[in-house]
Structure 1
Amino acid sequence: MSSATPATPASTEDPIAARLRTLLVRAPTAVAFVRGQRFEVVSEEFNHLFGFNDDGELAGQPTRLVHTTDMAHTALQERADAAFAAGRPLDEEIEYVKRDGHRFWGRLQASPVHWDAPSGESLWIVEDVTAARALRLQPTWTAKHDAVTELANRREFERRLGEHVGSRRNEPVSVLWVDVDRFGEVIKDMGAEVGDHFLYGLGQMLISKVRASDLVARLEEDHFAILLPDCDQHYAQIIAEKVRSSIASYRLRWGLHRTRVKASLGVVQIQPTLVTVDAVLGGAALACTEAKAAGGDSVRVFVSAGGYEELAG
């Protein structure tokens, strides 16, 4: 007589709690839940970031433990309280101290777990930005990058574009000009600080839509440009349409603030009639102006002096 294999008893742990526990152990992100200036729950990566292991977890410890001074800790709490009360998360670079006394710079992104109770439990996400911060402080980095978006600035974009203008190489090169539609309304409704965070997020999204060999830059205000080496007009149109669609579906989330925008794009391929950097950028900008004049959220292609080709958007 054969006997049935006994069934394995189902776990009685709450599924949501089990998922959170797994996330805190396995995710390569330093995450902590904070209440009353104490760490309630911390991820494994959060412990490791501050030099704590299983024999000395940060859970239950005061948040003062990871700050350099009482004054720095108090000032941070005051800034967080003010931001949360205004419906904004806190996003700052802060000097922290590890368990062994070693100091490092971390980017803290903190927000209330429940926005209707901003003084209650909050979520902290910390990233070590020591190396990135040191790089940004170098004069060479500052000279080539935009401070808000951390993308290449106009000077660097023009320098890189200049390497292709007039080149005798047979490699096709194209440029996209991106102009966010009605961005002034975002600034008016949500404020300059939210606008800056939106521009940063938009810049990071643009990077994710192009190749590693391409260059994304912020030229000015809400105007971006993308340099596409080894890319002819046909493929530049495809990329432009993908970028347009991605911007249209991109949602800004910054605390309680939510908004969507659209963009107009101009496309130009470097050609013999465009003999200077200004001429190439001018062609892309003119095509973009035509897209905006058509109502925005569309793409236009510069084909010759004074000529445009419409790409449905």
Structure 2
Amino acid sequence: MSNVHAPSIADDFNTARLKALLVRAPTAVAFVSGERFEVVSEEFNHLFGFGDESDLTGQNTRAVHTTDVAHAALRERATAAFAAGQPLDEEIEYVKRDGHRFWGRLQASPLQWDDPASEVLWIVEDVSAARALRLQPTWTAKHDAVTELANRREFERRLAEHVGSRRSEPVSALWVDVDKFSDVVKAMGAEVGDHFLYGLGQMLISKVRASDLVARLEDDHFAILLPDCDQHYAQIIAEKIRSAIAAYRLRWGMHRTRVKASVGVVQIQPSLATVDAVLGAGALACTEAKAAGGDSVRVFVSTGGYEELAG
């Protein structure tokens, strides 16, 4: 009796799923074994200037790199990252089939972490425009280098536009302080911590409106400016963010962890006549939430007390 495994209907269906994904998904994905592209998505081919009559499948990965040195150096960095249980995530200058160069963000990780030398998944995104923007002095002055969110200086500038304004629409702000994040950094290292902060920042952006401003003030402290938003709705948003952070699993290679956060809410009001006053009120509300055990929301009120929103 033969021991050869016959393909099942489920195997055929999963293969069909993978093929459909590689053809239709608007993501440049490739599976790499050693220095060879085993399977690439249609978008991956298009990104590098290949099409129906040409294909990167089966070609050496050197085909998309600018030089032999750059190709070899990438392999060394990937090997070191995988051995440490971390994916490779960096911006690389690539070359298209016609010789045109562009900057791509490569996210690479082995399919099996217990065998880092196994087949590797590549995801590449063209970041040429974003990179050019980040290199401009004006961008650097307004953004945090780790999270790419607005920095404290830009947040204070935008907040100042509303403090003391006679416009009638309400404006609120949230202070978000990640609970015990220093324990994450101590256990996993500063580099992994930075990637976690970036992921948290992107998650915060997804939970607010396009007109809102998300900023990293310092360390693991974030702030969100909510124009045209009164205290009632700010509380709702704060609770949504607290809940989202508590449910969010931070992933970086083999590293997994979860964190919680304390959130302070303040609506700009006449008694808070300066940017520092608003900053202080929000920070005090956040401190009160943290003192209550964290993973909770507190609202600053003009009497100097706090209203509790159960977490």
Give the aligned CA root-mean-square deviation in angstroms: 1.1
Aligned to 2:165: 167
Matches within 5 A, 1:3-42: 14-42=12-40
The 2-side partners of 1:125 and 1:112 are apart by: 12
The 2-side partners of 1:189 and 1:243 are apart by: 25
Q: String of CA shifts for 1:183-229, please: whole Å, max 9, x gaps.
A: 00000001111100000000000000000000000000000000000
Q: CA deviation at 1:49?
A: 0.1
Q: CA deviation at 1:13?
A: 6.7
Aligned to 1:202: 200
Q: String of CA shifts for 1:263-304, please: whole Å, max 9, x gaps.
A: 000000000000000100100000000000000000000002
Aligned to 2:5: none
User: Does residue 288 of the first structure (1) align with residue 286 of the second (2)?
Assistant: yes
Matches within 5 A, 1:145-160: 145-160=143-158
The 2-side partners of 1:25 and 1:209 are apart by: 30
Q: String of CA shifts for 1:15-40, please: whole Å, max 9, x gaps.
A: 11110000000000000000010000
Aligned to 2:3: none
Aligned to 1:112: 110
Aligned to 2:101: 103
Amino acid at match of 1:252: L
| Match 1:215 to one of 202, 213, 228 | 213
The 2-side partners of 1:245 and 1:12 are apart by: 37
The 2-side partners of 1:15 and 1:85 are apart by: 34
Q: CA deviation at 1:12?
A: 9.0
The 2-side partners of 1:180 and 1:16 are apart by: 40
The 1-side partners of 2:70 and 2:91 are apart by: 12
Q: String of CA shifts for 1:116-161, please: whole Å, max 9, x gaps.
A: 1101100000000000000000000000000000000000000000
Give runs of ≥4 in structure 1 deviating > 3 Å.
Answer: none
| Match 1:79 to one of 52, 58, 77 | 77
Q: Quick one: structure 1 residues 30 and 277, their matched pair in 2 at CA, closer, same or farther if it must change by over 3 Å?
A: same
Task: Give 5+ residue unaligned stretches, structure 2.
Answer: 1-8
The 1-side partners of 2:11 and 2:296 are apart by: 51
The 2-side partners of 1:31 and 1:154 are apart by: 36
| Match 1:182 to one of 142, 160, 180 | 180
Aligned to 1:265: 263
Q: String of CA shifts for 1:82-131, please: whole Å, max 9, x gaps.
A: 00011000000000000000000000000001111101100000000000
The 1-side partners of 2:189 and 2:170 are apart by: 41
Under a length normalisation based on structure 2, what TM-score does the superposition of the two structures give? 0.96
User: Does residue 225 of the first structure (1) align with residue 226 of the second (2)?
Assistant: no
Q: String of CA shifts for 1:58-77, please: whole Å, max 9, x gaps.
A: 00000000000000000000
Q: CA deviation at 1:54?
A: 1.3
The 2-side partners of 1:265 and 1:90 are apart by: 33
The 2-side partners of 1:273 and 1:296 are apart by: 27
Aligned to 1:54: 52
The 2-side partners of 1:95 and 1:115 are apart by: 27
The count of residues paired between Structure 1 and Structure 2 equals 304
The 2-side partners of 1:237 and 1:225 are apart by: 14
User: Does residue 243 of the first structure (1) align with residue 246 of the second (2)?
Assistant: no
Aligned to 1:4: none
Q: CA deviation at 1:306?
A: 2.5
The 2-side partners of 1:109 and 1:12 are apart by: 29
Q: Percent identity?
A: 84
Under a length normalisation based on structure 1, what TM-score does the superposition of the two structures give? 0.96
The 2-side partners of 1:18 and 1:193 are apart by: 38
Aligned to 1:5: none
Amino acid at match of 1:26: R
Q: Quick one: structure 1 residues 13 and 181, their matched pair in 2 at CA, closer, same or farther if it must change by over 3 Å?
A: closer
**Other structure's SS at 1:271 match:** coil
Aligned to 2:140: 142
**Other structure's SS at 1:252 match:** strand
The 1-side partners of 2:10 and 2:209 are apart by: 47
Amino acid at match of 1:64: R
